A and B are shown apart, each in its own frame.
Chain A
Amino acid sequence: DAKTTQPPSMDCAEGRAANLPCNHSTISGNEYVYWYRQIHSQGPQYIIHGLKNNETNEMASLIITEDRKSSTLILPHATLRDTAVYYCIVSPGGGNTPLVFGKGTRLSVIA
């Protein structure tokens, strides 16, 4: 079973920041927080991951609370192409551990 809880859906106006929350209160010390997204009829796409510190890349920023029990994915300037289902996953990462997907958040970016 997935160890994360996400809202089922969110809307965001085009050009505004999209903030997607995720709760992972049972995360273990060796587990990373991963974010993937799935655009309709495609495979999941890696966005970002983090362990303790906040992270930023060309796609998004990841804010992890100090107790690591929750995190927020931030898309700074959402576009229509960011409409997708976003999955927050906790996993030890690498090696032979599969990613376990929850239901994710369906983000709709509106013009």
Chain B
Amino acid sequence: KQEVTQIPAALSVPEGENLVLNCSFTDSAIYNLQWFRQDPGKGLTSLLLIQSSQREQTSGRLNASLDKSSGRSTLYIAASQPGDSATYLCAPNNYGQNFVFGPGTRLSVLP
């Protein structure tokens, strides 16, 4: 069964820094991987979806990479802002299985 870890569990940075969130998964037979953000008390908002044939996907200041063979994905946030403060979750999607969510990285961007 797929297992997902995210490092770090929590991160606090000053505004303007570039940062990297890491996601590792044990079963590399995925067909896509999705990154979400979750604000306190709210649902999950989709940020990026990477298909297994892709290595990168970009949306604004966000860039997600995927190394399927090594079971890793990273989410890069450029020029972080206080509005980026949230919990970020990754979810690899395996054939024949439902999404498995990572535990999340809780990000605080300080003004």
Check if A and B associate: no
